[in-house]
Amino acid sequence: MLDQIFKDLKNEVKFGYLKKKHPYRYPSLGSIEDQKPVQRTVVLRDSTDQFELIMYTDERSDKIHQFETNPNASLLFYNHKKLLQVKIEGKMQLIRSGKDFENYWSRVQGKSQKDFITQQAPGTPIDNPDHVEYKEDEHHFCLLKLVPESMEYLELKRPNHIRARFDKVNNWEGQFLNP
């Protein structure tokens, strides 16, 4: 049964980027700044054969410095229809060049590129949201690749809630937990 839960967990996460409007498309990504947690919503874009999770960001955003200082990261997914929470923790890799980088950047088309070509870095104070300026010859695209070390599944249902944890150090063998 734990094997099946582990498969379900990974499939549910994959639906986040494969199925339109799936609630797992927009997980919360946690990082650490000065020993304090910081969270933000991101779009899950893809996963690799090793189930590393791919996201996009601007290399000037605060999270980059946070992950450079402390690569520990947490992604939290919640499906309100299934009352199903998935938590994935691991180390964040920042990818700013190479084959994968070029491949994913080539998938960012048209208006979506605007997110990565603003003149000012994300978080810079501005007078008016209409007055964002864009660069024409440069972008600040960066790939985020979360390499999982532990995953947790929690489904609230009657008569029994199901909570299970899977750790890389245990070869991803599962363990039920008291919910």
Give the binding site for ligand FMN (CB under 6 A).
26, 38, 40-43, 55-57, 61-63, 122-123
Distance of closest approach, residue 155 Cβ to ligand FMN, in angstroms = 24
d(CA 75, CA 64): 15
d(CA 148, CA 7): 15
Contacts of 97 (CB under 8 A, 6+ apart): none
Q: State which residue, 64 or 84, has the beta carbon closest to ligand FMN.
A: 64
Please report the DSSP string for 135-148 in residue order.
-SS---EEEEEEEE
Distance of closest approach, residue 142 Cβ to ligand FMN, in angstroms = 8
Distance of closest approach, residue 29 Cβ to ligand FMN, in angstroms = 8
From residue 82, alpha-carbon distances to 43, 99, 108, 179 in Å are 20, 37, 31, 16
Q: State which residue, 19 or 161, has the beta carbon closest to ligand FMN.
A: 19
Q: State which residue, 37 or 159, has the beta carbon closest to ligand FMN.
A: 37
170 touches 13 (CB < 8 A): no
Q: State which residue, 103 or 124, has the beta carbon closest to ligand FMN.
A: 124
Distance of closest approach, residue 49 Cβ to ligand FMN, in angstroms = 22
